[in-house]
Amino acid sequence: MEPRQEAELCFPLINTSCKKALQHRAETVFMYILLICISFLTVTLNLLVIISISHFRQLHTPTNLLLLSLAVSDLLVGLLVMPGQILLGWSCWFLGNFTCGLFHYASFIITSSSVGNMVLISVDRYVAINDPLCYSTKVTQASVKISVCLCWTCAVSYNGLILNDFLKHPGRYNSCYGQCVSVINYISGAVDVIVTFIAPITVIIVLYMRVFVVAVSQARAMRSHIAAVSLQGSVGRIAKKSERKAAKTLGVVVVVFLMCFCPYFYPSLAGQDTSTTVIFSVFSMWLLNCNSCVNPLIYAFFYPWFRKSVKLIVTLQILQLDSCDANVL
């Protein structure tokens, strides 16, 4: 019989210290390599979006400012939140209670701002499709900048209220020294699930469905108009293709958002505290974080200008004089 392996203390000189989680070495190495790769990919993709929109003048539009804000919040997820979650995976928090409170507060702010930016993008697309003639007067760079600032300000203020008790005593929920746990009670959790999940997804679904309906009606109107001419067949195929593309894009946006956010908010929806089982908590948190890795694919890779700008960035052509005036559209 093999001798029983005892867990090591996070801080060997402190008897009240937490114990390190016992894990198989091969599985542990594989998981941490995978999580580090996800974090690196998230930072890289969002950094490419940020450089592209910031560098090339042709991309300085109100819509792209919203994409820039979304990319910044998602970059912070890969740069701060994901490494912090990897550190928590060791079952030992070596940075103290104060840093633990800041980490959870920052992660809540970044996640909320990411959701807020998604809502702003859906509003922008709704106005662009529903009222294209007045879009340039309603949606300006100044109004977008104000909206983005309000989004981040609301995220900071709102999460400060939600985590008020935890921030005052960041170590109150720790069962041992070296642990970093934040627990939201049922009332705060219910408010959080409404503000951060139900309300945003409702707005996104409603606005995108309106966008889809308008896009389909415009495509059908164009097909009917051209049908009076002799180009009915080819235009009909183009219109049907545009309808399918619009449906696919909007479906991906909503489905990915639901898949990434539903597991995280399930305890609040089920009337439980957020301190569920460790495995489920880690899985739901990383699934939520992975939304920040997928966002650049959804919101940026669908645009041809992004592929052109990435090519210029990777080949270091942006270092050339007047590269900011390059044609990427």
pLDDT per position as a tens digit, 22-77: 566 777 778 788 888 999 999 999 999 999 999 888 888 888 898 899 899 999 99
Tokens of 158: 């709102």
Tokens of 50: 């940020």
d(C-alpha 145, C-alpha 104), whole Å: 27
Determine the structural domain holding residue 266 and report its residue range.
Answer: 25-325
Q: Is residue 12 part of a domain?
A: no
Tokens of 46: 């969002």
- Contact (CB, 8 A) for 241 and 157: no
The dihedral over CA atoms of 140, 146, 147, 153, expressed in degrees to the nearest 10, equals: 170
Provide the number of structural domains found in the chain. 1
Q: Is residue 18 part of a domain?
A: no
Q: Is residue 8 part of a domain?
A: no
pLDDT per position as a tens digit, 196-242: 888 888 888 888 888 778 777 766 776 666 655 544 444 445 445 54
Q: Is residue 113 part of a domain?
A: yes
Give the CATH number for residue 69: 1.20.1070.10
Q: Is residue 11 part of a domain?
A: no
- Contact (CB, 8 A) for 43 and 78: yes
C-alpha triplet 222, 118, 267: angle, nearest 5°: 125
CA end-to-end span of the chain? 68
Query: What sign results for the dihedral spanned by CA atoms 20, 24, 25, 28?
Result: negative
Q: Is residue 211 part of a domain?
A: yes
d(C-alpha 39, C-alpha 42), whole Å: 5
Half-sphere CA count of 75, side-chain side, radius 13 A: 14
Mean pLDDT of 250-260: 73
Tokens of 320: 């050339």
d(C-alpha 105, C-alpha 168), whole Å: 12
At position 48, the amino acid (one-letter code) is L
pLDDT at residue 276 greater than cutoff 60:
no
Half-sphere CA count of 230, side-chain side, radius 13 A: 0
pLDDT per position as a tens digit, 169-193: 777 777 777 777 777 777 777 788 8
d(C-alpha 69, C-alpha 63), whole Å: 10
Q: Is residue 17 part of a domain?
A: no
Number of H helices, E strands in the chain: 12, 0
- Contact (CB, 8 A) for 174 and 180: yes
Helix (H) or strand (E) segment spanning residue 115: helix 96-130
pLDDT per position as a tens digit, 279-327: 666 777 788 888 888 888 876 677 788 888 888 898 888 888 888 888 8
- Contact (CB, 8 A) for 62 and 310: no
Task: Name the burial class of residue 308, with classes exposed (0-12), middle (13-18) and buried (19+) by CB atoms within 10 angstroms of its CB.
Answer: middle
> Taking all residues of the chain, what is their mean pLDDT, rounded to a whole number?
78
Question: Model pTM?
Answer: 0.82
Across the chain, which distance is largest between two alpha carbons, in Å?
86
